[in-house]
Chain A
């Protein structure tokens, strides 16, 4: 696990510090979640973290609340109207018009016009309050359990209760600072049902198009609150979440219940996709590590490659080719259903965060230096 200098690891000392720092002084600038994103020509050339299709349209999200969309395969871009200026991390569309974007400060943004206008549905404050409430429920349930439990189990249960308390206090102290934690992934089934996932095990579910959210963390076996980095649906209908420290969670009932899978790789996974074949999962992350499963994650095989760099996202083209992209300008391509990959490195070595197949074998990639349209090996076309 990477270094995590957060209040969670530093504990109470940090709590005191952050309380001392937080004084409700008159800020000259409005908070970043109350500041609309600036309309700028620079959006397509600055950091973009995710890009998806919304029908024929491509929509991409990035730093400073940038959401841009293109109706000509990425040649020209327009900027959506967004009420926040935080770094956005992920976007997904449940239908051609209904989409959700998530990002820092725990924001959830919603569009009903395919990305042109966005409204704020939830912030990290609401998310934390939901999480704290569900921790309180868990604590109450645990206390009941302890009263009824046989003597021999009480000791362990009290440890578990302490963990719950500690987790809740951490959430409370984070909330005192403000909406500190980012959401990192989003998936929507249609214009009603979807999940958002994020830092420290955050996961929320809506079944009414984002009007109300439920904390879904209790359904996930993630006792140490590791980051959840990505969520996707694979062919056959199963949902897969991947995250920090080899977290892999699978749901076969549309997200109601989740089962933890054992990962052969203990490092962070940043993304997951299906291959187009039923029940096949391809998960990937730190240092080019890539895991393949054809049985919903019950067994895994490491896919060898010499990319060496962190892999962030992948996509399957209509012809079945799989492309993965990552840091250091890495573009991996497989024509044989993830048996093996060919590596390419872009000349600029800039990090690539997301890929969308466009016309022919061409790709649209977004990342550290904005949007690029490339050939199948990641070479610039323009």
Chain B
């Protein structure tokens, strides 16, 4: 940078003539361009403010996977099978057989009954009339509601209640095994049958908190309330998105402080922050115009955009300060900084964008949305950073303090940079390479344990110690129930879904699955038929079998739950309850079903995978596992190609890409060790990490090449490189790390995982570029040949 002439035409992306043209175009129309930015920002900023949170279930699943296609095809037939909330009302002392407890339960029942979205006819609690006990007598059946007639809270009626519950078969379902809690089971409407409006999960979830949990815990301090169900989970997720605002504030504050410490210049601090925030508003506004909302994944993109904006802005502030220190005025410093940085800057940003766009090959909408959001964001950073930022700075200039800081600081830090230049020393480089190889070996070793999918109990989107997951654990521990359900759909000709051979086939599948590791239990119409046939035969277990007599089958399933038969009796599900949702479990079970389905599907009954949360996860895992290698090849291919196009040297590409590869492998090893699986949330991390991480290498290599072409020996050239750009590169790493590190505190588990992994990728890619790149250069680069080649090109 000491000699501006050297910064002219050394790169191949552009011709020497184009450069002054672009520079003239921008700098000769400064006012027009700034006014243009003002209008654009006002327009898109207005849209940005109106963007809505959106946690659509469908966008998080691979819509093109055959399982999901089957599921969506039969969505209407399976309605209400999965969408319900269960509210466990627990008494902290004694058991449920107290007048006080029953009174609270009654009030909660009434309250839930009137919540918008609840399918009132399906509401079940000890207080609803659809919860009954039945007993076989000599005359036939005898039964009644579980709440005894004339219940008055007296010890006698409570004793009668206890008797009725024991006879009712509800222990383990509506009543916990230890009689200390009971369930309020509320099926939900996807669409309000009166207004046709879709259920508003955020509002519904908030009402559960306010009208049920808070209200009744306050009213009766002796009870606790646990709520689980898809609607509650989605509500909690949407609420979690809200906490992002705090993270944004903290990130901006920390970044500003860091930037000021770095530049010691008010303009050099506020302008990059301002232009980066402009980029965020432009991105959000454009997203809204394109019809997107903010889901829990894409809500993180503005952080990346901000951090990328800052990190590239720093390069400009740094370059301007260096020029200004030589005595140039604000506009000339800005021009010189632009001239020096627009090639590597643009290259770095374009490779970021391409890195993101490789995510487009994963057939899951949220990941594609993430790709679009991040790609858009980077596009806006290119113009805000290289144009808006430079233009504003050309008016304001770097303050005196900032220039002094560069002058003083530069000299003071010489020794530090001198020391670090030894990374390129012929004696140190082999040691570095050895360490890298050991690191690679360890990384490959630990990465063997890397799993696909979600590995934790409960709702994987939320933290293990979140209220939701604690509630979920409570219900799993106290009731006979599993949270992981795979649904196999059995399709038959119309009105044939209850035929003997269909039930028999389902029963065979169920037994096959119950003998498959990872399966806890299963349920289907076949079980209903066996249980009721037994009941119709005076409760004698010897009759526990599917009758060959269709009349008996029909009688046995007359009262079957509606979810088990669709309206024209052409579809009936087999529900498979799993021990967990680990990828191996899902794979084994799905494999079992597929083998059975292939052998036993015929014109009378076809077995289709899959619905239920476990079915969706199995499909997602499959898509992710297939996409992973593809995505790695794409992202590394794109990055390598861009580097090759710029530097026209395979050796250069290796110097830049090998440290990235090491980081990627270490990142996977860390995932394996810390129990983070490859999933929708963590798959993009590698693409983002590589796409953004390559920036460091590009900035460092472009300088290093420049000094080598000047004829400097490698270590000296690297010293000069560090002197001019080392600080900016390190600062970039820290800024990017800061941008994502706050996510670690997100209530949403996958955001925390993403934050943790990106933090590692950003910092470690920087370390790789500063430490390993020069060591590789020592072995790979032949400066004499490079000079000869450059001369020949001229």
Chain A contacts to B: CB under 8 angstroms? 1-7, 10, 14, 17-18, 21, 25-29, 32, 38, 40, 42, 47, 49, 63-64, 86-87, 89-90, 104-105, 174, 177-180, 182, 184, 229, 266-268, 270, 286-287, 310, 312, 327-328, 349, 351, 353, 367-368
Contact = CB atoms under 8 A, between A and B. Distances in A.
A182 B499 contact: no
A368 B549 contact: no
B141 A3 contact: yes
Nearest to B540: A270
Contacts of A182: 542-543, 545
Contact of A63 (B137, B545, B548): B545
B253 interface: no
Of residues B499, B538, B605, which shows the largest number of chain A Cβ atoms within 10 Å of its Cβ? B538
A282 B438 CA distance: 80
Contact of A2 (B171, B536, B599, B602): B536
B139 to A, nearest CB: 8
B551 A18 contact: yes
B541 interface: yes
A178 B540 CA distance: 22
A104 B549 contact: no
Contacts of A267: 137-138
A42 B537 CA distance: 26
A367 B544 CA distance: 12
B240 interface: no
A25 B601 CA distance: 13
B136 interface: yes
Given A178-B548, A286-B138, A368-B541, 17 more contacts: A2-B138, A2-B140, A18-B550, A18-B551, A21-B499, A28-B599, A28-B602, A29-B600, A42-B515, A87-B544, A90-B542, A104-B545, A177-B549, A180-B549, A310-B540, A312-B541, A327-B541
Contact of B515 (A38, A87, A180, A310): A38
B597 to A, nearest CB: 10
B339 interface: no
8 contacts: A5-B552, A25-B501, A27-B501, A27-B604, A40-B515, A87-B542, A182-B542, A287-B138
Nearest to A174: B549
A3 B535 CA distance: 10
Interface stretch (B62-70, B359-367, B377-385, B504-512): B504-512
A29 B544 contact: no
Contacts of A63: 544-545
Contacts of A184: 542
Interface string B523-555: 000000000000011111111110111111001
Contacts of B171: 349
B151 to A, nearest CB: 21
B514 interface: yes
B166 interface: yes
For the complex of A and B, the 5 pairs showing the least CB-CB separation, nearest first, are A267-B138, A87-B545, A89-B542, A5-B555, A28-B600
B549 to A, nearest CB: 5
Given A28-B505, A47-B541, A367-B541, A179 B548 contact: yes
A49 B544 CA distance: 10
A5 B551 contact: yes
Nearest to B166: A349
Contacts of B543: 182
Contacts of B536: 2-5
Interface residues of B, number: 39
Nearest to A179: B548
B515 A177 contact: no
Interface in B148-187: 166, 171
Q: Label chain B's interface by main secondary structure.
A: mixed
Contacts of B605: 28
A108 to B, nearest CB: 15
A14 B551 CA distance: 7
A49 B542 contact: yes
B138 A266 contact: yes
B208 to A, nearest CB: 33
A89 B541 CA distance: 9
A170 B551 CA distance: 14
B505 A310 contact: no
B548 A2 contact: no
A49 B543 CA distance: 10
Nearest to B558: A5
Contact of A177 (B545, B548, B600, B601): B548
Interface string B579-606: 0000000000000000000011111110
B140 A3 contact: yes
Of residues B140, B171, B539, which shows the largest number of chain A Cβ atoms within 10 Å of its Cβ? B539
B602 A7 contact: no
A3 B599 CA distance: 39
A105 B548 contact: yes
Given A2-B140, A2-B537, A349-B171, A64 B542 contact: no
Contacts of A349: 166, 171
Contacts of A104: 545
B554 to A, nearest CB: 9
Nearest to A30: B508
A3 B136 CA distance: 10
Given A26-B602, A29-B508, A2 B545 contact: no
B629 to A, nearest CB: 37
Given A28-B505, A42-B514, A367-B541, A17 B550 contact: yes
B542 to A, nearest CB: 4
A233 to B, nearest CB: 20
Nearest to B514: A42
A180 B548 contact: yes
A367 B542 CA distance: 10
B538 A286 contact: yes
B137 A287 contact: yes
A25 B604 contact: yes
B545 A86 contact: yes
Contacts of B505: 28-29
A328 B171 CA distance: 12
Nearest to A328: B166
Contact of B504 (A21, A29, A40, A49): A29
A95 B6 CA distance: 105
Of residues B514, B537, B542, B550, which shows the largest number of chain A Cβ atoms within 10 Å of its Cβ? B542
B659 to A, nearest CB: 52
A312 B534 CA distance: 14
Contacts of A328: 166
Contacts of B514: 42
Given A2-B136, A28-B505, A18 B549 contact: yes
Contacts of B140: 2-3
Given A1-B138, A266-B138, A180 B540 contact: no
Contacts of A105: 548
A184 B542 CA distance: 7
A167 B501 CA distance: 27
Contacts of A177: 548-550
B511 A268 contact: no
Contact of A180 (B136, B542, B547): B547
Contacts of B547: 180
